[in-house]
Structure formats: C-alpha cells, structure tokens
C-alpha cells in the first residue's frame, strides 16, 4: 500500500488531519487500533473553543455541530457558598465556547471521510512506524490477520498518550516534561436535563465537582476522587449524594438526578514531549502532550496541531519547501505551553490538595476571591478558556 501521509490513530487529531489534507489534495491512509463503534462512543471532551469550531466549520464538517452544539457565553465558579459568573460577552466580547461531545466530532469526521471515499482501517494491531529517519518511511501492522505495510512520504503519529509513535523515536531525541496530580476525575454521563444553562465549576471542603452537559436532555458531571480510586466504590446513589454535596452550595439551587448511562475514572496528568517531530514522523495531539481536563484544552490543542501540520505538508507538496515542516514543533509548542499553564492553574485553583497546610489553603482562598472580584483576573481566565485566537510562535 502506498500513500502520501500515513496517519496512525483515528481520534480527533488523526481524523481531522486526514480531512484537512484531503481538502488540500493530499492523500492519506488512517489506521486505528480500536473498532469504529468503540471510537464513536468513547465519551470524553465536551468543550470546543471558537477556533476549533471555526476550523471544523471551514472544513465543511461543522453542519451538525452548528445545529446541535450548545453555544455558551459564560461559565460559573462556585466557592464559599457563592456563585460567580465569568461573563465571556463582557470580558472577551465576540468569543464563546460550544459544548459538543468529542464522540460527535469523531462521528462527523468518520462520516465525511467515508463519504469522500477515504480509507480508515479499524482494529489494526502491532503497529510499527519505521524508517522515518530517511526519505521513505513506512508503517507495518496486522489487519484482518495479515501483516501489511503502508509506504508513505510522512508519518503522522496521532495515536494518543498511550500510542506507539512517541516511543519509537530513538532515546535521547525527545525531552519529556511531566506532572502528576494527587487526584483523578470520576466522569458521569446521566440521562437527565442539565440543572444549569452553563457549566458550573464548584469546589468546597469535600473537593471539586463539575456540572457540564451534552444536550438539553443529557448531563455530564465530574467529581474529584483519589487517583487510584476503584469505580466499584461509586454506586450511583453515592455519586448523586456527592455531586449534591459539592454543587448544591448556593442557596436555592438544586441538582436534578437521573439514570447514570456511563461512568469512569481518569488520572490527571500534564505531559509534553519536545520536539514534536523526528525525521519524517510528526506527533500531534495527545501523542505529544496532555493536560488535566480542568481547562478543557486537550481536544482543542489536537485540532490546532493538525491545522499547523496541514499547512506545513501542503507547502512541502506545493513547492518542496520544508521550512514549515522544520518549524512544526516550534509553531505548536507556544500554544501547548500556554494551555499547559492554564490547565495547571485551573486545576490548582479548583481542587482540594491533601498536602495543603493552613497557609496554602488561605492562598488558594485569596486567589479564588481575586478571580471572582477582579476584572483583570477574570478576563485572564476567560481569554484562556475561550482560546487565544491563532496563538502560535512568531514565524
């Protein structure tokens, strides 16, 4: 099999890259370890920045998102028995977020690719990116019981944090930056109308809770839990009791409960691999960097990486000009690090840390008070949350 770009991973990064490349007349083959059904039903992110919405819309895959996505002009923070709205329309006029499930983005991208006659090979195994140090990289893998090889000009490693691409880069080439947090998130999808029009990020002595949503009839929640927590310890009644205890902190507000459709626990981690490329292998999305979900940045960063990579590959195919490809990592990392800082900062602001002493807790309270009462501090939160335009390294 021969193609121009071999794309490993059919998450948002790999699928969007394949779609953007096709719009530029560049061929690719996407290979994915899981089944189509699995990737289309994996519940994950929900918040799209304006820039991500614009990218999907401009690429012709935003029609359902524009119809079904929920546009939000603010979020609520709840601390100390009070709610405080971060009003995007006032602090960052003209910018908003769209709440639309990641698996819906994935479904839309898969549908667009298959409709255009593009190829996605699902349920591949033993994937090995090879020869990317030279001009003729290839990817070998097993599909339908047969060993196969894709020969390509370039390999895009879009295989997520636990993928194989990053680890095939020779030792010593990459530098890793890593931080683990002393908690995880228990995520819950519930068949109940949201109790709030906007997202609520709430924190009290019991810990952090987030009320999000997927549609007018589906709610999404997260609870801070121990990093090694066993989901078996969280029967549905306990989840609703704990959500109520952490969210019903504002007088007169109550949480509606309903059937739990899905629940799972995710560890919280920050990670960056630098540079995001080696030879003709380019890492994009979670394969290169992850953030704790508190700032809702992971999917948005993945979308940004692949727009940069598309432009660089298009320039190379148009004229053989390689400077954008050489500068790919640098062009992405400035935004990556802004999102790293923002996600760490939101996480630190909103969670309970067992290691905190009385002094640390007073500092955290002071910062929460500042964010809720200073326009300068809440504008900083708002502009990072909605996403910083086309924030990238100067050429």
Which one of ligand PHB, ligand RFL, none is in contact with 34 (Cβ closer than 5 to 8 A by kind)?
A: ligand RFL
Closest CA to 24 of 5, 8, 9, 11: 5
Can you read off the two tokens belonging to residue 105?
């983005």
Nearer to ligand PHB by C-beta: 45 or 156?
45
Which one of ligand PHB, ligand RFL, none is in contact with 97 (Cβ closer than 5 to 8 A by kind)?
A: none
Give the CB-side neighbour count of residue 9, counting CA atoms within 13 A.
Answer: 28
Applying CB under 6 A, which of residues 29, 192, 296, 299 lies at the interface with ligand PHB? 296
Indicate whether 192 belongs to the interface with ligand PHB (CB under 6 A).
Answer: no
Is 367 among the catalytic positions? no
Is 23 buried (19+), middle (13-18) or exposed (0-12) by CB count in 10 A? middle
DSSP state of 203: E
Nearer to ligand PHB by C-beta: 17 or 213?
213
Which one of ligand RFL, ligand PHB, none is in contact with 294 (Cβ closer than 5 to 8 A by kind)?
A: ligand PHB
- For 185, phi then psi, to 5°, come to -120, 130
> CB 373 → ligand RFL: shortest distance, Å?
26
**Cα dihedral: 158, 153, 307, 187 (round 10):** -10
Is 385 among the catalytic positions? yes
Indicate whether 46 belongs to the interface with ligand PHB (CB under 6 A).
Answer: yes
> CB 43 → ligand PHB: shortest distance, Å?
8
Give CA separation, 197 vs 74, 79, 114, in Å.
10, 18, 35
Q: At what angle do helices 328-350 and 358-373 cross, to 10 degrees?
A: 110
Indicate whether 332 belongs to the interface with ligand PHB (CB under 6 A).
Answer: no
Nearer to ligand RFL by C-beta: 137 or 298?
298
Instruction: Measure the CA–CA gap between 209 and 222, rounded to whole angstroms.
Output: 6
In the complex, which residues of this chain contact ligand RFL (CB under 6 A)?
8-14, 31-34, 39, 44-47, 102, 124, 127, 158-160, 163-164, 185, 187, 266, 285-286, 293, 296-300, 302
Write out the catalytic residue numbers. Answer: 72, 201, 293, 297, 385
């Amino acid at each position: 099999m021969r193609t121009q770009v071999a794309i490993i991973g059919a998450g948002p990064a790999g699928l969007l890259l394949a779609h953007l490349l096709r719009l530029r007349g560049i061929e690719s083959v996407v290979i994915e370890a899981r089944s189509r059904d699995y990737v289309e039903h994996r519940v994950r992110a929900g918040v799209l920045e304006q820039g991500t919405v614009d990218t999907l819309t401009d690429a012709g895959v935003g029609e359902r998102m524009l119809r079904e996505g929920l546009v939000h002009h603010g979020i609520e923070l709840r601390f100390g028995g009070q709610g405080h709205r971060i009003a995007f329309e006032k602090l960052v006029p003209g910018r908003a977020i769209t709440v639309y499930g990641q698996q819906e983005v994935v479904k839309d991208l898969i549908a667009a690719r298959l409709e255009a006659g593009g190829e996605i090979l699902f349920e591949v195994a033993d994937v090995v990116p090879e020869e990317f140090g030279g001009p003729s990289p290839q990817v070998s893998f097993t599909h339908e019981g047969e060993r196969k090889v894709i020969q390509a000009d370039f390999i895009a490693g879009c295989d997520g944090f636990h993928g194989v691409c990053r680890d095939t880069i020779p030792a010593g080439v990459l530098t890793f930056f890593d931080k683990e947090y002393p908690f995880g998130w228990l995520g819950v999808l519930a068949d109940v109308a949201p109790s709030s029009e906007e997202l609520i990020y709430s924190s009290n002595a019991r810990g952090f809770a987030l009320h999000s949503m997927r549609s007018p009839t589906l709610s999404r929640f997260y609870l801070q839990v121990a990093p090694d927590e066993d989901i078996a310890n969280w029967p549905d009644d306990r989840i609703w009791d704990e959500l109520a205890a952490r969210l019903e902190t504002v007088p007169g507000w109550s949480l509606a409960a309903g059937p739990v459709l899905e629940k799972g626990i995710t560890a919280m981690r920050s990670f960056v691999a630098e540079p995001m490329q080696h030879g003709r292998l380019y890492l994009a999305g979670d394969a290169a960097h992850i953030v704790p979900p508190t700032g809702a940045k992971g999917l948005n960063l993945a979308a940004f990486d692949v727009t940069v990579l598309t432009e660089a590959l298009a320039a190379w195919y148009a004229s053989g000009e390689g400077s954008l490809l050489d500068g790919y990592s640098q062009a992405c990392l400035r935004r990556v690090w802004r999102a790293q800082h923002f996600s760490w900062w939101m996480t630190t602001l909103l969670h309970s840390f067992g290691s905190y002493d009385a002094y640390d807790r007073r500092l955290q309270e002071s910062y929460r008070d500042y964010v809720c009462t200073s326009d300068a501090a809440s504008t900083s939160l708002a502009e990072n949350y909605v996403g910083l335009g086309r924030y990238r390294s100067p050429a």
